[in-house]
Amino acid sequence: MKPSVAVVILNWNGKLLLEQFLPSVVKTSYENLQLIVADNASTDNSVAFVKENYQQIRLIINTQNYGFAQGYNEALKQVEADYFVLLNSDVEVSENWVSPVIELMESNKQIAVAQPKIKWLKQKELFEYAGAAGGYLDNYAFPFCKGRIFDEVEKDHNQYNNNEEVFWASGAAFFIRSADWKLANGLDPDLFAHMEEIDLCWRLKNMGKKIYYCADAEVYHLGGGTLNTSSPFKNYLNFRNNLIIMQKNLPFGEAFTKIFIRLWIDLAAWFQFLLKGNFKFAFSINKAHLHFFTVFFRTSAKRSNQTSFKKHAGTYPKSIVWAYFVNKKKKFSDLIF
């Protein structure tokens, strides 16, 4: 029998998304599959909708809105399977999207996490911002993807059709061995949302595990379904969490140097927002830095198994900010590793 797989969709007031995207999920072709909706204390009638229309889907009800990270931690305590798949509620899947990823992971027991090819639902020839063809980090821990650097999203013309090791997998369609989920104690709830999957992948890589991109499976992500992409709160989370995961996962010397440089790069971004009149976004960077220093010692207590950044696959040895904005390198294939 094939390994057991539990696809878990975290929901919060997402009835409209469930109406749109559950029909494709229930058509998934895999013989040893559980489908689960974990509800984060929704106040719409999401739960009633699932109960009335999808008896084959198991419901897990969290007692409050825990956010993405702790929401999944609480839900997966109640799930038994060989593999967990964390699937965003705004993802349309193809019928055979599970098997290729599981086959890839079964071929190498060191692969702890993998993601399929993620494309944009509104224009299916384009890669999608949150994941594309697998995640990378530059020398200062800025995340980007094969197929997407900042706002430049590529068309898919089969240029990234090889299964390859990457640095991080997208939380939009995140496959993980349940044993490795438990080994790493799941997602860090202090991150709440955004970059929590990068942190988990980084921790697993520091344990000697591998993260992969599977080109043989494909899903389509709507994007921005939970938190608006132009949200100052999202901006705050991204700047804050990026610094926190650097502190957690880099060796001390590298952490000190790279965070120091990142603070200056963030200052440049602050000036950019200010000059454009985006005062709320500029303030969100101030708020992110204040939080980072406020929880500095709490974050320090989470440090373990740090490995030199340069030893990990999926890293770009230069600055992606410099490559993109100064050298005008707009595509992954333009980068020199």
The CATH 3.90.550.10 domain(s) of the chain lie at 5-221
Strands (E), 250-317: none
Share of the chain above pLDDT 90, in %: 90
User: For residues 118 and 170, is the Cβ–Cβ distance under 8 A?
Assistant: yes
**Tell me, what's the pLDDT at 304?**
80
β pairing state of 83-87 and 5-11: parallel
C-alpha atoms less than 13 angstroms from C-alpha of 206 in its C-beta half-sphere: 21
pLDDT confidence tier of residue 227, bands split at 50, 70 and 90:
very low
Q: Is the pLDDT of residue 328 over 50?
A: yes
pLDDT tens readout for residues 140-172:
999 999 999 998 999 999 999 999 999 999 999
Identify the residue whose tokens are 């340069």: 310
| Whole-number average pLDDT of the chain | 94
Rounded Cα gap, residues 291 and 289, in angstroms: 5
* CATH number, span 5-221: 3.90.550.10
Rounded to 5°, angle at Cα 216 from 212 and 218: 95
Record the pTM.
0.94
User: For residues 315 and 135, is the Cβ–Cβ distance under 8 A?
Assistant: no
Q: Is the pLDDT of residue 224 over 80?
A: no
pLDDT confidence tier of residue 193, bands split at 50, 70 and 90:
confident
**Tell me, what's the pLDDT at 228?**
46
pLDDT confidence tier of residue 229, bands split at 50, 70 and 90:
low
Rounded Cα gap, residues 141 and 322, in angstroms: 13
pLDDT tens readout for residues 275-326:
999 999 999 999 999 999 999 999 999 998 888 888 899 999 999 999 999 9
CA-CA-CA-CA torsion sign (317, 320, 325, 330) = positive
**Tell me, what's the pLDDT at 309?**
84
C-alpha atoms less than 13 angstroms from C-alpha of 78 in its C-beta half-sphere: 14
The residues facing 8 across adjacent strands are 36, 86
pLDDT tens readout for residues 33-68:
999 999 999 999 999 999 999 999 999 999 999 988
